[in-house]
Chains A and B, each alone.
Chain A
C-alpha cells in the first residue's frame, strides 16, 4: 500500500527539484540560444566557419553525460573548480548551442540569396541587412524548430542528476536510498515529470499548429 502521508511530506522537495530543473534548464536554454544565434550569424557572414562546424559536430555527436563528466571531474585536474550546477549549465549550453546553431544555420540558408544582394545594392550595411531583412524571417520560420530544441534541452536537464544536482531524478534516487520507499518515490518522480513536461509538449504542439 502506498504511504500517502509520506508522499505528501516529500512534495516540497519535489517542488524545489522541479524549480531547479526549470531554473538551470531555462538558463541553459537562454545561453545556448544566444550562442546558437551568434554562431549562425558568424557562419552566414563567413566568419570562423571551420571552428563553428567543428563545434557543431562535436556537440551533436557526443553524449551529454560525458560532456558533463569531463567538466565536473576533469576540470578540477586543471585547477578549475566549478559547482555541480555551474558544470550542468555549461554542459547543457555546450550541447544546446550546437543544436541551436544547426537550427539557425538552416534558417539563414533558407533565405534566398537575392534578398541579401538586393539589400546590399540598396546600400544597407551588414548589421542593417541582418536586423531589417534576414532576422525577422529567420526568427519566424525557425520558431517551431527552436522551441522543440528548447524542450529537448529541458528534458536533458534530468541527466544532471548524475553529478548530484538536486533535480527530480536525483531527489528520487536519493529518496529511494534513504527511505527505501521505491513505489512512492517512483510515483512522485513520474508525476513531477508529467507536470513539468506535458505542458511543454502541449505548448509546443499548439505553437506548431499556429505557425503551420
Chain B
C-alpha cells in the first residue's frame, strides 16, 4: 500500500470521527442550556447528580453501559454510534452547561448596570451586550471541550464504531505496519486538536475582559 492509498483508506474513518463529535457537540449546546436551567430550578440537585455522575464514572464505562445495557433494559438497539452520541451529548451538556454558568458569573455587573441606566430595553440588552459577551466568554472553553470530545471519540472503536482508529486498525490487519499507522493516527489527532487548543488559548487572551 502506498502512502496515498493509506490516507485514502483513513478518510471514511476521519469523517465518522468528525461527524460523530460534531453532532455530539452541536446537541450539547442546547443540552448545556437545559443543564443551566435545571441547575437554577427547584431541582438543582438533579443537575448536580447529572454532573457528578459524568465526572465520577469514566466515559468508557458509560459507553459500555449504554452499548450493552440499553438493548437489554429497553429493547432499544441504537448501536455503537447511537450509544456514543447519547453518552457524549449527556456528558457534553454538563461540560457546556458549566461553561455557560462560568460565563454568566464572569459578566461584569457594571456593564449591565450601565446598559440599564442608558435605558436599553431587555431585548436590546441581550442583543448588544449579553449575547456578545457570553459568546466571547464561552467560546474558548467550548473549544477545549471540543478537543476533549475528539480525543474521547477514539474510545468508540471499543464498542464497534468504525471511526478513525478503526480505519487504521483495518489497514494494520492487512499490512502489519502498526508503528506507521498508529504514528500517523497520533499525528492526525494532533493535527486536529492542537490548532483548536491553540486558537482557544489565543481567543481567550484576546477576549479577556480586563
The complex places the Cα of A161 from the Cα of B56 at a distance, in Å, of 18
**B151: which A residues are within 8 A, CB to CB?**
61-64
Q: Which of these binds chain B: A9-17, A134-142, A185-193?
A: A185-193
Q: Which of these binds chain A: B105-113, B116-124, B187-195?
A: B187-195
A27 proximal to B (CB < 8 A): no
Q: Is the CB of B52 within 8 A of A63?
A: no
The complex places the Cα of A61 from the Cα of B192 at a distance, in Å, of 8
**A197: which B residues are within 8 A, CB to CB?**
56-58
Q: Which of A142-194 contact B (CB under 8 A)?
A: 155-156, 158-159, 161-162, 168-169, 172-173, 176, 182-183, 186, 189-190, 193-194
The complex places the Cα of A73 from the Cα of B176 at a distance, in Å, of 10
Are A201 and B60 also in contact (CB < 8 A) when A61-B197, A78-B179, A189-B65 are? Answer: no
| Most interface-central of A69, A162, A198 (chain B CB within 10 A) | A69
Q: Which of A58-82 contact B (CB under 8 A)?
A: 58, 60-67, 69-70, 73-78
Q: Is the CB of B182 within 8 A of A182?
A: no
Q: Is the CB of B155 within 8 A of A65?
A: yes
B147 proximal to A (CB < 8 A): yes
Are A198 and B64 also in contact (CB < 8 A) when A58-B190, A65-B165, A77-B178 are? Answer: no
**B65: which A residues are within 8 A, CB to CB?**
186, 189-190
The complex places the Cα of A176 from the Cα of B197 at a distance, in Å, of 39
Selected from B172, B189, B197, the residue in CB contact (under 8 A) with A73 is B172
| A12 CB to nearest chain B CB (Å) | 21
Q: Other CB < 8 Å A-B pairs besides A62-B190, A63-B155, A69-B165, 11 of them?
A: A57-B197, A61-B193, A63-B154, A63-B189, A65-B154, A65-B165, A66-B165, A69-B178, A70-B186, A74-B178, A169-B64
Interface residues of B (CB under 8 A from A): 52, 55-58, 60-61, 64-65, 68-69, 72, 147, 151-152, 154-155, 157-158, 165, 172, 177-179, 182-183, 185-186, 189-190, 193-194, 197
